[in-house]
Structure 1
Amino acid sequence: MASTPEWWQRGPVAGVPDVLQPVAHMLLQLRDEVPAVVASLPWHLWNERPGGAASIAFHVRHVAGVLDRLFTYARGAPLTEAQLAALKAEGDPLVADTRDALLDAMVSQIESRLDELRNIDPATLADERLIGRAKLPSTVLGCIVHAAEHGMRHLGQLVVTAKVLAPPSA
């Protein structure tokens, strides 16, 4: 049975500057894989923290949040109060079945970041950006590459957590 190649094996993403193609590929991989990995898990398992690992709910929220925050920094803007509140709430447990809403918010965030990638002037990629309250130095490119890479790191953790939590097959 043939499977679909990963996004980096499918060629360029339309409208994205060449230098930003790897970022687009990672975002698209996140968009496709995260929902597929967690689709079969009942919502109450989204709060479980096997061995103290982060929960599925945290990972899904965090992927969306990190993309939002780091692309905000890439634009040279400070975080808003809403972004800071969302950051504080990333670890909150689900109290009802809001899986679809969380996944929709993450996919929406990814789609927005893909649109943003298409409009980034490659001449600005080395522009300095200051990150967080400590004003740590980075660049436009540093922010957006780290956003995608950080999301992929959480995808890996989410895959392992989902496998540990998955009910045994009959």
Structure 2
Amino acid sequence: MTNQKDYEIQVKEGDKPFDFEYQDSKGNKFKLSNMLGHKKIVIYFYPKDFTPGCTIEAEEFTRDNALFEQQGIEIIGISSDSNDSHTKFREKMNIPYMLASDPNNEISKAYGVYGLKKFMGKEYYGVNRSTFLIDQSGRIAKIYSSVKPRGHSKEVLEFFKDL
């Protein structure tokens, strides 16, 4: 369970997103800024590869990936897991989109999604499941915080249909 008071989204709807670099499973590097203004983009932050909620979220974005591609929407998932872990997760789950490694939580802190969490009575710091939707102009059109994994992919698709 996320305690909303302990973290704050750093960017707001209408802002330009914080730029970051990521790589694919072959080591090719990409920058978010190279896509801005050319594509619509989904950036979703999730806590950890291979965990139940993160697996559900990845399954649903994978299932709907062709629908995103038809609308010219790029998906990028971000967690603190290593590139090696992401490669294994992508292979096991047949994930067709990019996963960015954020081992020091620099990206998640810049977006304001890293903060205090509570689970089974224990407090710890981690990534709060959140999604940022970037429109064709390169601005943040929508922010979802405290995301519930099941059904989120469809929710994002619906938002983009109305955009």
TM range (shorter): under 0.3
TM-score normalised by length of structure 1: 0.26
Higher helix share: 1
Higher strand share: 2
TM-score normalised by length of structure 2: 0.27
Structure with max Cα Rg: 1
